[in-house]
């Protein structure tokens, strides 16, 4: 049977190894040391899913995955592998791609609001302890009760300032809010801003349904998140991807019968998701991974070492590609043994020994069969990608972005009235009322009129930004007068 008519063919040993569409939502794992071929295996899987009409989401840390948007070349190395594997009908081709970028530089911006992120994920993002997380929960609750929208970091800063300055009003109804906790949260927010996270919060908020599209030919769109810059902030990277998974889980309906996934989600550098993760959040991750397959979403973790994942998650990953691992140190030897024991053993070879002997492009492969039973592990060669291996040029990327079906949807930043403006309006009214109370009703001024509070603020537009406009909302300035306080990082 020709290769081109086998979109499910991923690897080949003495037998062909196919990934079953009905079992693709049972999740998967790609592991191996650096330089052993994990990225190529990811690309081959993504191309296979696209051919089957299954869209994918994947992060591109080194820029290599952008090449999937361009047809590959039958160079001598690829031609040699095609011949050795006996892949009849192999042909190069490009795949439909949409580029995203949290910072809006190399793709369409991806944003969410503070409200949609929620206090649990935001606590992880800010690296808060249990007490500080509790205070953040109180702040969110007070905002909800008062109809104060939390859209961006400016809103959250304003809300923290408001609750901190009026904490005596909330002790009985909500619990203690210590100034130390408020200060710690605000300090961590400043650190988050320094990492560029202000670009991530705001509107237009990303709609996860835009990840579920096919092109005019019925091929699944490959949604690629440019993550080279984002990787410099590991906690932002992992929390962002976890938020996306949570949104998919929350918004997609349950499916009673799944012929093929609605989306396959590749989580590269997966060890970052589980490193220093609080138990309460780890339980949420395990729950999402376990249940999201019923929503038609498959999650494929990509990491160097199977020990990077908790056993409760590892046990849920039915489709596996294991590239070579080194075994020089005791920990590496333990990783090899762990990887070997997760496969259904093949009597033809020793799995543990084979893991250390695999060449580049070779892997141990086990996929679920049509009944959901793990296949016996095979030592196999991964099929070569049909698209280009390696990055495209910035000019090519720019052309694809401009022709994208979502071009213009997320590029526009919307700054509507939210908690910042609402709280600022309260402060202005209170300041104005105090001025009126202190002015004698029958006094007529004959000399130069003294400016009101608002006039004084307007008069200082050109001066250095002050961060203490009032006792109730310090460190914030009227946005309509002085503009953004966040160094032009807004789009």
291-313 per-position pLDDT tens digit: 999 999 999 999 998 888 998 89
Assigned domain for 281 exists: yes
Segments forming the whole domain that contains residue 437: 114-201+417-482
> In sequence order, what are the residues at sequence separation of 6 or more whose Cβ sits closer than 8 angstroms to the Cβ of residue 335?
305, 306, 307, 325, 327
pLDDT score at 441 = 56
Are 77 and 137 part of one and the same domain? no
405-426, pLDDT tens digit by residue? Answer: 999 999 988 889 999 999 988 8
pLDDT score at 137 = 96
Are 121 and 45 part of one and the same domain? no
Are 321 and 345 part of one and the same domain? yes
pLDDT of 118 strictly over 90: yes
Are 334 and 440 part of one and the same domain? no
Find the mean pLDDT for residues 449-478.
Answer: 40
Are 252 and 104 part of one and the same domain? yes
- Give the angle subtended at the CA of 102 by the CAs of 101 and 103, to the nearest 5°: 90
pTM: 0.84
> In sequence order, what are the residues at sequence separation of 6 or more whose Cβ sits closer than 8 angstroms to the Cβ of residue 306?
29, 31, 314, 322, 335, 338, 339, 342
Assigned domain for 318 exists: yes
If pLDDT is split at 50, 70 and 90, which confidence band does 2 have?
low
Sign of the CA dihedral running 488, 185, 236, 208:
negative
The two three-digit tokens of residue 287, written as one number: 């729950």
300-350, pLDDT tens digit by residue? Answer: 999 998 888 998 899 999 999 999 998 888 888 988 998 999 899 999 999
CATH number for the domain spanning 55: value is 3.40.50.300
Phi, psi at 133, each rounded to 5°: -65, -40
- Using CA atoms, how far residue 213 sits from 53, 117, 422, 430, in Å, is 9, 24, 38, 51
Q: Average pLDDT, whole number, for the chain?
A: 87
Assigned domain for 487 exists: no
Phi, psi at 110, each rounded to 5°: -120, 115
pLDDT score at 332 = 87
Sign of the CA dihedral running 249, 252, 253, 254:
negative
Are 42 and 133 part of one and the same domain? no
423 burial class (0-12, 13-18, 19+ CB within 10 angstroms)? buried
Number of domains into which the chain is organized: 2
Phi, psi at 67, each rounded to 5°: -65, -15
The two three-digit tokens of residue 360, written as one number: 């580049």
CB 420: neighbour CB atoms within 10 A? 28
């Amino acid at each position: 049977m020709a290769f081109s008519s086998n979109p499910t063919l991923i690897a080949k040993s003495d037998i062909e190894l196919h990934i079953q569409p009905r079992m693709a939502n049972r999740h998967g794992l790609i592991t191996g040391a650096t330089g052993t071929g994990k990225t190529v295996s990811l690309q081959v899987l993504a191309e296979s899913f696209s051919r089957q009409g299954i869209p994918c989401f994947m992060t591109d840390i080194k820029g290599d995955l952008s090449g999937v948007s361009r047809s590959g070349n039958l160079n001598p190395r690829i031609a040699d592998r095609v011949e050795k594997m006996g892949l009849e009908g192999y042909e190069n081709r490009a795949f439909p791609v949409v580029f995203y970028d949290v910072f809006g530089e190399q793709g369409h911006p991806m944003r969410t609001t503070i409200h949609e992120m929620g206090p649990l994920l935001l606590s992880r993002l800010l690296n808060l302890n249990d007490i500080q997380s509790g205070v953040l929960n109180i702040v969110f609750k007070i905002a909800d009760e008062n109809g104060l929208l939390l859209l961006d970091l400016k809103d959250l800063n304003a809300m923290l300032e408001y609750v901190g300055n009026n904490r005596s009003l909330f002790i009985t109804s909500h619990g203690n809010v210590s100034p130390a906790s408020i200060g710690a949260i605000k300090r961590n927010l400043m650190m988050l801003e320094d990492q560029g996270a202000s670009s991530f919060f705001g509107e237009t908020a990303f709609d996860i349904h835009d990840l579920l599209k096919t092109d005019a030919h019925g091929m699944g769109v490959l949604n690629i998140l440019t993550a080279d810059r984002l990787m410099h902030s590991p906690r932002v990277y992992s929390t962002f991807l976890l938020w996306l998974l949570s949104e998919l889980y929350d918004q997609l309906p349950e499916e009673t019968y799944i012929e093929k996934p609605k989306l396959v989600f590749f989580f590269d550098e997966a060890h970052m998701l589980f490193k220093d993760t609080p138990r309460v959040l780890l339980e949420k991750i395990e729950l999402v991974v376990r249940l999201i397959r019923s929503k038609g979403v498959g999650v494929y973790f990509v990491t160097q070492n199977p020990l990077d994942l908790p056993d409760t998650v590892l046990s849920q990953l039915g489709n596996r590609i294991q590239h070579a691992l080194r075994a020089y140190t005791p920990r590496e030897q333990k990783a090899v043994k762990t990887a070997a024991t997760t496969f259904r053993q093949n009597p033809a070879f020793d799995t543990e020994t084979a893991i250390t002997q695999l060449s580049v492009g070779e892997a141990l492969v086990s996929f679920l069969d049509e009944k959901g039973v793990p296949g016996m592990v095979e030592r196999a060669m991964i099929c070569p990608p049909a698209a280009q291996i390696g990055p495209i040029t910035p000019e090519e990327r720019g052309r694809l972005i401009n022709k994208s079906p979502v071009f213009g949807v997320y590029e526009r930043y919307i700054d509507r009235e939210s908690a910042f403006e609402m709280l600022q309006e309260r402060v202005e009214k209170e300041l104005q009322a105090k001025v009126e109370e202190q002015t004698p009703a029958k006094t007529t001024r004959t000399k130069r009129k003294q400016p009101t509070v608002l006039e004084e603020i307007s008069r200082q537009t050109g001066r250095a930004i002050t961060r203490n406009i009032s006792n109730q909302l310090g460190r914030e300035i009227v946005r309509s007068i002085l503009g953004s306080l966040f160094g032009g990082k807004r789009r």
